[in-house]
Amino acid sequence: MALFHVQGVPVGYVAVMLALIASMGGFIFGYDTGQISDILLMDDFLLRFAQCETPGDVSTCQFSTVREGLIVALLSIGTLVGALCGAPTADFLGRRLAMQIECLIFSVGVIIQITSTTSWAQLAVGRLISGLGVGALSAAVPMYQAETAPPQIRGAMTATYQLFITLGILVAYCISIGTRHIPGAGSWRTVIGIGFIWPAVLAVGIQFMPESPRWLAAHGHIAKAERAIAVTRGLSASAAANDYIIKREVEEIRQSVEYEKTVRSGWIDCFRPNHKILYRTLLGMSLQSLQQLTGANYFFYYGATIFQSVGIADSFVTQIILGGVNFGCTFGGLYVMERFGRRGPLILGGIWQSAWLFVFASAGTAQNPSQHEGIGDLMIVSACLFILGFATTWAPGIWILIGETFPTATRAKQGALATASNWLWNFLLAFFTPFITRDIGFRYGYIFASCNLLGAVVVYLFLYESSGISLEMVDQMYNDPTCKPWTSSTWAPAGYENRKDLQAQIRAAEMNKPLTAKDVEDTRVETHSNGSGTYHGEETEAEKRI
């Protein structure tokens, strides 16, 4: 039975559970990202792994720039390798089994970390191995969600991955503030050890979810693919057999798979210019790189240290405030990405984020924030407003696009390349940030502000609007020579006047009734009034039914 309807199309409870369970991969990512910022300041952790002038006196202990950078950043090297390995693994084993194996790899890394005693290198290697699992999951989960979600809620479902990243960061902050006064190694080992829970939930829960229908179809299981689609729609097998929407989606997938059998799908094929494959590979890599260059992880990795330097008495509390803003605003991101598409929010988000980073950097540069309480407060407010913009636009939006921009044949590999770009910049920023901030201080914010403006320009000039249409239609759109990125929001396949016409026809077909003459006229009026849209010079399906 359908749980609810979107645009007249049924959505089952399995689709919702699928989004939540698969997004535990994002929770693992967020938890591992959030925990290290506070752990670096815990007394026992400093005594064991930092360099102390007087043994046993924590006030004389501090990390060298290189050691701190490696402890934080080696996770990102693991995730980079994991993202690249995750693509062939997901293609060979299937999306679900691949995720289960990746959860096991992450858990091995946790074991290595919590058994560390005085060797910071062992701890860093544990983070490296955990990173392999996190990176592979970051490639597999958004792809699985995009391939399995009904198109009408694909944006919100894929955005739950980012929502769970923010939840993981917030939970890590809260657990850290609760364990920091535990005597001995329990303060930091508890935070890391709790990390066993999250991969267990994902590994067990994903077993009860359907496999990706596109992966099933690509491996010759068309009937199973149809059942997987029916389950996410909340329909029985008998009802699905006569359902127009499901039959059309299955046929689209079947035709796409048949076509892609004639298309090479190796790594090198991700860089071939035909069918805009190279274009989309470079676009995905650029967007993932620019997501890192927004500067968000500057706050998430080093937030406690940053706010300690601006004179905040308890930087742990400030981290929780930032984490709460990040998590709460991501709910808004789910709505924004479904309601307003992908391009507009990303462009406006880049401009908004840039503005507040300019404020942050200017305030910290103009006066010493540790000596001027008002400056410190302004920097915290500007950081929160930056996070608000990031959480509602660039944070969920980029992960959505990675799942829906590429064709099926090379989707896993292109998604892996894009995600690996994210992790490469993640590593570079995590490792070099201590060196950079030591030399230029809060002026670092100017660099991130400029990168946010660059991101807005890249989205305007190169990204196509992919909301509200199937993955197969997205591929058609990128290959339509008459469609440009700035006109793509109204594009629709041949037989439809524009995207609203397409969605209206789908809704009418699902409700088993034709569009009225008024529906068609309303669509025409809107199309001609804004001067855009795709006109195919032929009678549409809606007109034929009237």
DSSP sequence for 418-450: HHHHHHHHHHHHHHHHHHHHHHHGGGHHHHHHH
Q: What are phi and psi of 10, to 5 degrees?
A: -70, 145
Q: Give the residue from 203, 208, 28 showing the smallest Cα distance to 101.
A: 203
More confident: 143 or 241: 143
Q: How many whole angstroms separate alpha carbon 525 and alpha carbon 196?
A: 56
Cβ atoms of residues 110 and 162 within 8 Å: no
Other Cβ atoms less than 10 A from the Cβ of 298: the count is: 25
Other Cβ atoms less than 10 A from the Cβ of 518: the count is: 8
pLDDT given for residue 127 in this prediction:
92
Pick from 134-138, 169-173, 201-205, 234-238 the range whose average pLDDT is largest. Answer: 201-205
Structure tokens, 30: 């967020």
Per-residue pLDDT band at 66 (split at 50, 70, 90): confident
Share of the chain above pLDDT 70, in %: 86
pLDDT given for residue 307 in this prediction:
64
Structure tokens, 210: 């359907």
Q: How many whole angstroms separate alpha carbon 216 and alpha carbon 228?
A: 9
Per-residue pLDDT band at 529 (split at 50, 70, 90): very low
How far, rounded to the nearest angstrom, does the alpha carbon of residue 336 sit from its chain's CA centroid? 15
Q: How many whole angstroms separate alpha carbon 84 and alpha carbon 87?
A: 6
Residue 513 has pLDDT above 50, yes or no: no
The distance in angstroms from the start CA to the end CA of the chain is 31
More confident: 323 or 511: 323
**Mean pLDDT on 186-206:** 94
Q: Give the residue from 153, 136, 131, 128 showing the smallest Cα distance to 20.
A: 153
pLDDT given for residue 504 in this prediction:
79
pLDDT given for residue 523 in this prediction:
40
Q: How many whole angstroms separate alpha carbon 50 and alpha carbon 44?
A: 10
Residue 142 has pLDDT above 60, yes or no: yes
- Average pLDDT over the chain reads 83
pLDDT tens-digit map of 436-491:
888 888 888 999 999 999 999 999 999 999 988 888 899 999 999 999 999 999 89
How far, rounded to the nearest angstrom, does the alpha carbon of residue 442 sit from its chain's CA centroid? 27
**Mean pLDDT on 237-244:** 70
Question: 528: Cβ–Cβ under 8 A, 6 or more apart, which residues?
Answer: none
pLDDT given for residue 301 in this prediction:
63
Pick from 164-178, 251-265, 528-542 the range whose average pLDDT is largest. Answer: 164-178
Pick from 54-68, 388-402, 514-528 the range whose average pLDDT is largest. Answer: 388-402
**Mean pLDDT on 389-393:** 93
**Mean pLDDT on 293-303:** 78
Helix-strand-coil split of the chain, %, nearest 5: 80, 0, 20
pTM of the model as a whole: 0.74
pLDDT given for residue 6 in this prediction:
65
Per-residue pLDDT band at 317 (split at 50, 70, 90): confident
Q: How many whole angstroms separate alpha carbon 415 and alpha carbon 270?
A: 10
Cβ atoms of residues 304 and 39 within 8 Å: no
Structure tokens, 287: 């967007």
Interhelix angle 154-179/186-193, nearest 10 degrees: 160
10-19, 125-134, 399-408: the lowest-pLDDT one = 10-19
Residue 238 has pLDDT above 80, yes or no: no
Per-residue pLDDT band at 312 (split at 50, 70, 90): low
Question: 543: Cβ–Cβ under 8 A, 6 or more apart, which residues?
Answer: 520
pLDDT tens-digit map of 37-59:
788 888 999 999 998 988 888 88
Residue 421 has pLDDT above 70, yes or no: yes
pLDDT given for residue 286 in this prediction:
97
**Mean pLDDT on 396-417:** 87
More confident: 76 or 196: 196
Q: How many whole angstroms separate alpha carbon 435 and alpha carbon 440?
A: 9
The DSSP bridge pattern shows strands 61-62 and 51-52 to be antiparallel
Question: Angle at Cα 165 formed by Cα 161 and Cα 171, nearest 5°?
Answer: 135
pLDDT tens-digit map of 341-378:
999 999 999 999 999 999 999 988 888 777 777 887 88
pLDDT tens-digit map of 275-287:
899 999 999 999 9
Q: Which parts of 267-364 are beta strand (E)?
A: none
**Residue 446 CB-density burial (10 A; 0-12 exposed, 13-18 middle, 19+ buried):** middle
Structure tokens, 175: 């657990």
Q: How many whole angstroms separate alpha carbon 235 and alpha carbon 253?
A: 19
